[in-house]
């Protein structure tokens, strides 16, 4: 990964704290970002992977332009679809700096590779929070294909947040906590159900003592394949479930929108073996009806069979 700093220092040389949110596919990063935007008591900027996943009340949107949403409370939400450089440039171009910048990394990103961005012009790295889903972490971290990526995300953290604890028994939750501590000793572990966790994103206070930036060597499994499956419009719940049943076994993550004959819309979420199809209460625009999938490279066929 490489980047080129701009020649100018924005905001009279002031550096804005920047926090990375990491975690494997389905760990709950977007949910945490949504909670942060709802509870923010100061102007923050958020860089996300998919603007369509951000749930913002239309009444709170002051301006929506391209890949940027400005809220009435001074917060701004930008997409990283054109790369981190473009997203950071959008924030640097603002006349008034935000109080804090939060960056949602992709589910397959290794934070160590992204940390140099947190030291680019106009920003200072405040820390890394990595999320781990209690219901799938122990399985993922032991897998030969993706376990290295999952472990690197944990090692890079200044704070670990355990999510989806309601889906496991107390003894399994403790097993997850012990495994996290084995991988990254001494790093504090919080549970994402704690209502103070979103504000912790803004209060990490710098890299933990002794934290080293070790950029992992690329492996075959760094190259996750992204595919897109068109969903007929309209469709039915039965057809949606049949489509999900036919997904290849190598698909690690899938999400999308489907439309019914009577105007209803369903949000589709797949994480490993877990799936959820939920009806959307209200849709103001007409999102595309398709399913985006993320699969492992050596098995991905790009087809739904």
Quote the pLDDT of residue 215. Answer: 45
Cβ–Cβ contacts within 10 Å for residue 33, how many? 24
Considering the domain architecture, whether residues 42 and 136 belong to the same structural domain is answered as: yes
Q: Mark whether 180 and 74 lie in a shared domain.
A: yes
In this prediction, residue 82 carries a pLDDT of 57
Task: Say what the pLDDT of residue 59 is.
Answer: 47
Task: Enumerate residue ranges in the chain where pLDDT < 50.
Answer: 1-8, 51, 56-61, 63-64, 213-222, 298-305
CB 72 within 8 A of CB 37: no
Domain contains 228 = yes
Could you give the number of structural domains in the chain?
2
Give the pLDDT confidence of 213-270 residue by residue, as tens digits.
444 444 444 456 667 788 888 888 888 888 888 887 777 778 788 888 887 888 888 8
Question: 38 and 133 share a domain?
Answer: yes
Whether 182 is in a domain gets the answer: yes
Give the pLDDT of residue 297: 53
Range of the domain at 283: 223-295
pLDDT at 75: 64
What pLDDT, on a 0 to 100 scale, did the predictor assign at position 301?
A: 40
Model pLDDT, residue 76? 66
């Amino acid at each position: 990964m490489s980047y080129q700093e701009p020649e100018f220092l924005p905001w009279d040389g002031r550096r804005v704290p920047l926090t990375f949110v990491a975690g494997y596919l389905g760990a709950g990063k977007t949910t945490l970002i949504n909670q942060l935007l709802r509870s923010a008591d100061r102007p923050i900027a958020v860089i996300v992977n998919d603007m369509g996943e951000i749930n913002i009340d239309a009444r709170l949107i002051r301006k929506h332009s391209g890949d940027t949403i400005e809220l009435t409370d001074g917060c701004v939400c930008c997409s990283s679809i054109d790369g981190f450089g473009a997203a950071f440039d959008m924030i640097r171009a603002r006349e008034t700096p935000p109080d804090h910048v939060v960056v949602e990394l992709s589910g397959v990103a290794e934070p160590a590779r992204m940390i140099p961005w947190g030291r680019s012009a106009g920003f200072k790295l405040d820390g890394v929070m990595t999320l781990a889903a209690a219901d799938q972490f122990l399985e993922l971290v032991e897998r030969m294909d993706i376990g290295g990526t999952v472990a690197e995300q944990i090692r890079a953290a200044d704070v670990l947040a355990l999510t989806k604890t309601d889906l496991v028994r107390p003894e399994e939750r403790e097993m997850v906590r012990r495994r996290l501590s084995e991988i990254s000793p001494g790093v504090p572990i919080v549970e994402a159900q704690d209502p103070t966790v979103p504000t912790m994103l803004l209060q990490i206070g710098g890299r933990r003592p002794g934290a080293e930036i070790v950029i992992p060597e690329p492996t075959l499994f760094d190259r996750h394949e992204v595919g897109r499956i068109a969903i007929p419009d309209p469709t039915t719940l039965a057809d949606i479930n049949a489509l999900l049943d036919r997904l290849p076994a190598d698909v690690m993550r899938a999400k999308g929108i489907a439309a019914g004959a009577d105007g209803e819309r369903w949000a589709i979420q797949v994480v490993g073996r877990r799936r959820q199809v939920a009806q959307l209460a209200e849709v103001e625009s007409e999102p595309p009806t398709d399913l985006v999938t993320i699969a492992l490279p050596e098995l991905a066929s790009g087809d739904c069979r």
